[in-house]
Amino acid sequence: MGMLENSLNKETGRRSEEEVGLTESPVYQLVPWCFVAGCMPFFSCHLLFPTECRDEFRRLMTELCSETLILTFEICHTDVKTTFCSFLSGLGGTCVNVGCIPKKLMHQAALLGQALQDSRKFGWQFTEEVKHNWMTMTESVQNYIGSLNWGYRVALRDKKVTYENAYGEFVGPHTIKATNKKGIEKLYTAERFIIATGERPRYLGIPGDKEYCVSSDDLFSLPYCPGKTLVVGASYVALECAGFLAGLGLDVTVMVRSILLRGFDQDMANRIGEYMKEHGVNFIREFVPIKVEQVEEGTPGILKVTAKSTAGDQMIEGEYNTVLLAIGRDPCTRKIGLDKVKVNINEKTGKIPVNDEEQTNVPYIYAIGDILQDKLELTPVAIQAGRLLVQRLYAGATTKCDYVNVPTTVFTPLEYGACGYSEETAVEKFGEENIEVYHSHFWPLEWTVPSRDNNKCYAKIICNIQDNERVIGFHVLGPNAGEVTQGFATAIKCGLTKEQLDSTVGIHPVCAEVCIQNHLKAHGILG
């Protein structure tokens, strides 16, 4: 096994170039600026830009994830020529290939199944039983992702961005070594660097996890129906995957170590868990797997999971066709030579601390995206941070990224949209006596005819009493929660108050209408 294959095996657990999707490496070029960026399904890639030959290239980047693509296109508005260095195929990074895009499409597949059930009450008649075909879905999803990959490649060409295939790591101040799949090494120097290497799935470190378990990265292109599935974890990825798998008619169990959706509003998180449980998702609370064994080979086969209680010595066992690990992701920062240039990282998490301008402790090195310490791990946040960073570096702008008033949506069966503070963080920052919570349940009109769940959809706003009841937190559970939240996010950034919300005329009859009728006072989980 060669040097590059050794690196691949250590970083990804894959032993061949084919398994990680390497592409041909183009001819080396010198450039005057450098990005170290992007994480793909199983590995990290890097963006590079040396300082010599300013007339040749001004920037060279590695790894074509969403934020680095946006960085490239943003730079193309200036006179800076750009080169892109990516170690893997699949332009667009985690979000496009193994994240937001396939996740939302499979969530939509599950919603369509529910819509088919509802349609009978609206007069639609079916003469045959409706079934779901996993392979048809995954093939369609992967075909669409492939079209996005191709579109990005065409866009890079149209913008005259040189696309190269190499793995980069710092070897000294202002210097990166780029190694292609043939093991050919080139040195690049640059005045500034941007690190955007992203993250990759975390494993449990127990017997059988890497041999028999899959991650969400694997699930979206799994070449067979997963069957009876154990989802390990309580992150939004875990609950989203569990939700759409159950929506497709599969037997799904979620094993939770402690709480659901850590970092999100816990009132809303618990409501999501209750809804999923009522709709067929099983939950095993306060247990963690300690061993995974193969009982029977196959696609899928049969796996036996042994788990231990986190509250005592109780042990349980269960058999499943697929075990999906969704316990978080680790930043790709430990093997890119950051120690050679003295960039500080959190030794426990691998995250990189930065100031409010995404600058590390080394003045000429910046970082964006999921690898940042104490920042939201969301693709749109990374894109916004990257865009604003480029504008500050090249266009004289001064606007900094807002990491607080960030809208996001968890695509569980009952979608959850949020922007701003949770109740917990609002109390911590402003004090319980200084916040007020307004809330209301609602029943979507489209749920009434098929007699679907009443009083399960829910909305609440959190207001700062000491600041004219300014809305500092927005939370909604219900259909199309992301669409609802996106509009309110702009109002919140503009300083929306409760009085302004009350004075807004609602659109009837839509789900978002409830958000201007939050007239009931409550202290929710904090009371």
CATH 3.50.50.60 fits 3-90+164-201+330-395, yes or no: yes
As assigned by CATH, the class of the 209-327 domain is: alpha beta
| From-to residues of CATH 3.30.390.30 in the chain | 415-526
Quick one: pLDDT at residue 486? 97
The fold of 415-526 is Enolase-like; domain 1 (3.30.390)
- Of 22-26, 55-59, 109-113, the range with the highest mean pLDDT is 109-113
pLDDT at 330 over 60: yes
Distance in angstroms between the alpha carbons of the first and the last residue of the chain? 61
- 199-240 tens-digit pLDDT: 999 999 999 999 999 999 999 999 999 999 999 999 999 999
- Are the C-beta atoms of residues 76 and 161 closer than 8 Å to each other? yes
pLDDT level of residue 264 (50, 70, 90 thresholds):
very high
Beta strands in 213-314 (DSSP E): 214-215, 229-232, 252-256, 282-285, 287-296, 302-309
pLDDT at 266 over 90: yes
Across the chain, mean pLDDT equals 85
- 454-504 tens-digit pLDDT: 889 999 999 999 999 999 999 999 999 999 999 999 999 999 999 999 999
DSSP 148-207: HHHHHHHHHHHTT-EEE--EEEEEETTEEEEE-TT--EEEEE-S-EEEE--EEE----ST
**Number of neighbouring beta carbons within 10 Å of residue 10:** 9
pLDDT level of residue 160 (50, 70, 90 thresholds):
confident
Q: Which two tokens stand for residue 524?
A: 């929710």
pLDDT level of residue 285 (50, 70, 90 thresholds):
very high
Which of these ranges, 55-69, 160-174, 405-419, has the smallest mean pLDDT?
55-69
Residues that are catalytic: 508
pLDDT level of residue 27 (50, 70, 90 thresholds):
very low
| From-to residues of CATH 3.50.50.60 in the chain | 3-90+164-201+330-395, 209-327
Quick one: pLDDT at residue 249? 97
pLDDT at 11 over 50: no
- 350-401 tens-digit pLDDT: 999 999 999 999 999 999 999 999 999 999 999 999 899 989 988 899 999 9
pLDDT at 53 over 80: no
